[in-house]
Amino acid sequence: MKAVRFLGMPKPGQGRGWVISGPFLWFLVFFLVPFLVVVKISLSTAEIAIPPYAPLFTLSDDGTISLALHLGNFQYIFSDPEYVLAYLSSLRYAAGTALITLLIGYPVAYGIATSRPGIRPALLMLVVMPFWTSFLIRVYAWIGILKPNGLINNFLMWLGVIHQPLEILNNQFSIFVGMVYAYLPFMILPLYACLEKLDHSLLEAASDLGARPFRAFLSITLPLSLPGIIAGSLLVFIPAVGEYIIPTLLGGPSTLTIGTVLWNEFFNNHDWPVASTVAVALIVLLVGPLMLLQHFQAKEETR
């Protein structure tokens, strides 16, 4: 223990500060400061210029600096039903995805955690492997599976179960399929980490005391895996709210989500201030979940 503290607290004047300052500065400049820049641009007005926004500070001839804050962008996105709808539908997709991945991921994580210790790493690897291959390509693959003459429809028509192709692409269903598919590993991993540590003697005790397996699950396994459930749900929910690729490729042209709206404002309308405002609104929405996640991970570290 002494050495840990020694490594952690070297004598004054040693290089520890230098070691920390490198990455610290990098993330300050390329992660934290950019958010402030986004907030700044969201408060300016769009202009036909390069870059396409008006400066906040202007230096006039008599040497005074004037600051023009423009709250109109926020007013605009909160009064335009299109933005409100995009906001709500993103929330719905993200929350729905978190719920479905939980329902599917829990039994899988439980199954892996209760399988023979020798094969657990292999099963876990099978869950993680797809995550290592291209996200874009895996989402694209679903087009071929879901489209009118795609894999599923062709198969069902060949079986004779249906006579007309099901409409399962370019709607909410396909978006959910893509999101659940892409984010499932993020749910299974923290659940597994939690379930694996579970003390099985507790379940034996419950069974000895006459609790049936389901009852024992409800009163022991489920509450003890709550940290995994919360961590997994946040790991799915947070990135899913801002998802752009899945709604664009699988949702069809009329899909409205925060991601697609932000992208279109930026790349198609070249309205950087409004795009920044949408980004700020999204960040505000995510501050709570992000802090909750950090809180849970810090607790995990100290255990």
Partner 1 sequence: MIGKALQGRGVLRVMMVLVMVFLYAPIVSIVVYSFNESQLVTVWSHFSTKWYVALLHDDQILDAARISLEVALSAASGSLVMGTLAGYILTRFTRFKGRTLFSGMVMAPLVMPEIIMGISLLLLFVGMEQIFGWPERDLQTIVIAHITFSTAFVAVVVQSRLRDIDVSVEEAAMDLGARPVDVFFLVTLPLMVPALVSGWLLAFSLSLDDLVITAFVSGPGSTTLPMVIFSKVRLGLNPEINALATLIILLVGLASGIGAFKTAFKPAAKAAG
Q: Restricting to residues 260-299, which ones interact with partner 1 according to CB under 8 A?
A: 262-263, 266-267, 272, 275-276, 279, 282-283, 286, 290, 293-294, 297-298
d(C-alpha 296, C-alpha 299), whole Å: 5
Query: Of 77-85, 105-113, 158-166, 218-226, which segment contacts partner 1 by CB under 8 A?
Result: 105-113
Q: Does 22 bind partner 1 (CB under 8 A)?
A: yes
Interface residue with partner 1 among 64, 66, 133, 164 (CB under 8 A) is 133
Nearer to partner 1, 48 or 132 (CB): 132
Interface with partner 1, residue 118, by CB under 8 A: yes
Q: Cβ(72)–Cβ(82) under 8 Å?
A: no
Among 96, 159, 171, 245, binds partner 1 (CB under 8 A): 245
Cβ neighbours around 32 below 10 Å, total: 9
Which C-beta is closer to partner 1: that of 8 or that of 62? 8
Q: Cβ atoms within 10 A of the Cβ of 169, count? A: 24
Question: 299, 233 in Cβ contact below 8 A?
Answer: no
What does each C-alpha distance from 19 to 10, 14, 22, 99, 249 come to in angstroms?
12, 10, 6, 42, 43
CB of residue 251 vs partner 1: minimum separation in angstroms? 12
Asked if 130 is part of the footprint of partner 1 (rule: CB under 8 A), the reply reads: yes
- Of 56, 91, 123, 224, the one binding partner 1 (CB under 8 A) is 123
Using CA atoms, how far apart are residues 24 and 262, in angstroms rounded to an integer?
29
Say if residues 267 and 95 touch (Cβ distance below 8 Å). no
Q: Which of 121, 205, 218, 223 binds partner 1 (CB under 8 A)?
A: 121
Cβ proximity to partner 1: between 62 and 232 the closer is 232
Judged by CB under 8 A, the residue of 35, 59, 78, 200 near partner 1 is 35
Dihedral sign, Cα of residue 283, residue 289, residue 291, residue 296 = negative
- Per CB under 8 A, the list member of 91, 108, 156, 203 interacting with partner 1 is 108
Amino acid at 55: P
